[in-house]
Amino acid sequence: MRITDVKTADDLRGFMTMPTEGLVELMGRMEGDVLVLGAGGKMGGELIETIQRADRQAGARRRLMAADLFGRPGACVRLEESGVETHAGDLADRQFLLTLPDAPNVFYMAGVKFGSSRDWRLTFHLNCIVPYLVGERFTDSSIVVFSSGNPYRPVPVSAEPPQEDGELDPQGVYGWTIVGREAAFRTTALRWPGQRGCLFRLMYAQHLAYGVLVDLAQMVWRGEPISLRVPAVNLVSQRDAIDVAVRALGQCANPPLVLNCAGPAVTVREIARKLGEHMGKVPVLSGPEGETALLAGDKQAVELFGPHRDGVEEMIEAAARWVIAGGENWASPTMFGRLRGSY
């Protein structure tokens, strides 16, 4: 199935949770239960469902657990109906952390981005202190830490994007707290030799219910001006991002491995032009056009796991079709056009 074949919300869920052969092979030989912390976000449910599908195909049996506040009514119903063990509580509460079951394989997906500039105290607490508490709780686990490429130094669009050894130059409260999150897990890894980690620096993941492409497609469809101040973005589909994140469990190390997941860099001007062609619209572009952008390269991930399944052209076409058809939207703007890391 290609992303351009997705027509319904059920199609979309099935597409986004389709495991690769490499992931099925990993789950077939990987031992131990899996705990997902911060499972209630935009990627958590589909990451868990991807693991479930890979386990079924591999004939593997393991306990799958999910922890989050699960504040919305019915937030964990789908997980529980599929056999996932849920734990509702606040990860910032040490007592709640102590009640969580031990797990040799952990995903850390908690944190705050939007609104971070309005409450720096809360942002530092949730993005820096809570990760340290989690690292001190799971001292003998492999932990894939969802991080971000946000702190990389912006580069000219024509330049080679930074790889994992690129210089960090965080802008704004969010960028600094991302560095703090990584520092917290680096510190616990120093304290606990049995802890292994992967700092998973994810750029914007593309879905059809949210994402940069859908944001831009809606703007083209409505005839809204598209700012070129941020002139380019990375494009990787959410299912490819999930695939890399789960397979990163097999690459965890001490000190933690740093792994970018980004996809190709594409100019906003080019994305808007192609969306307009698919939608029969002329994009309204607003200048001046920026000279640098927050981008990253993921050669290491491609070398480890192979090329991403979903290409730029297919993702752009699918986003255009989805918006024209009035497809499901999670009303979660990416704010990709914000400068200096202000969210």
Condensed to tens digits (0 to 9), the pLDDT of residues 202-224 reads 998 999 999 999 999 999 999 99
Q: Which domains does the chain have, with CATH numbers?
A: 8-206+237-263+295-305 (3.40.50.720)
Cβ burial, residue 235 (10 Å; 0-12/13-18/19+): buried
Separation between Cα atoms, residue 106 and residue 272, nearest integer Å: 38
Condensed to tens digits (0 to 9), the pLDDT of residues 248-280 reads 999 999 999 999 999 999 999 999 999 999 999
Lookup result for tokens 């510190």 = 187
Residue percentage of the chain with pLDDT more than 70: 95
Condensed to tens digits (0 to 9), the pLDDT of residues 77-120 reads 888 999 999 999 999 999 999 999 999 999 999 987 555 556 77
Tell me the angle at which helices 238-247 and 44-58 cross, rounded to the nearest 10 degrees: 60
What pLDDT was estimated at residue 119?
A: 74
Cα→Cα distances 161→50, 152, 232, 293, Å: 29, 9, 11, 9
Condensed to tens digits (0 to 9), the pLDDT of residues 191-202 reads 999 999 999 999
Condensed to tens digits (0 to 9), the pLDDT of residues 158-171 reads 999 999 999 999 98
